[in-house]
Structure 1
């Protein structure tokens, strides 16, 4: 079962309440998403560490309805 953009955004904002999140459906099928996440928690962390934080927060979703998620992460300017 595919997820909606709102569901993907909620998963991310539940894990990172201070984040600014933009979700894009990459191919129009509700299965392949891109997320741009700008969050203070990423400050001082490498891109790999940032992605590890997101992947850990979404672990259950990846085991179920979330099929593919391309990440762009950064700390606020």
Structure 2
């Protein structure tokens, strides 16, 4: 796991105390596409399950994650695919 993925994981863990978290660097799959920068982690898939998301709309859940990663968005993170859930859902 590269430094950006580690930082994403750290922040999401501290903010949401998830019961499950996967942070996958998909940057290499986007070689030659917009936002790809050689040697930089730019594209991620995040799967997170945490109680904090219970009762929240999908948009609210996404906003919560983006807020936790705000200063990483657009530099270095270009794209973030989110799969968000709450325990039991």
Q: TM-score, normalised by structure 1?
A: 0.80
Task: Report the secondary structure of 2:84's partner residue.
Answer: strand
Larger Rg: 1 or 2?
A: 2
Match of 2:87 in 1: 76
Pairing partner for 1:62 from 67, 73, 84: 73
Aligned-residue Cα RMSD (Å) equals 2.0
Count of equivalent residues: 75
How far is the alpha carbon of 1:48 from its aligned partner?
1.0
Unmatched 5+ residue regions in structure 2? 29-39
Match of 1:47 in 2: 58
Q: TM-score, normalised by structure 2?
A: 0.71
Q: Which runs of 4+ in 1 moved over 6 A?
A: none
Is 2:48 the counterpart of 1:37? yes
Unmatched 5+ residue regions in structure 1? none
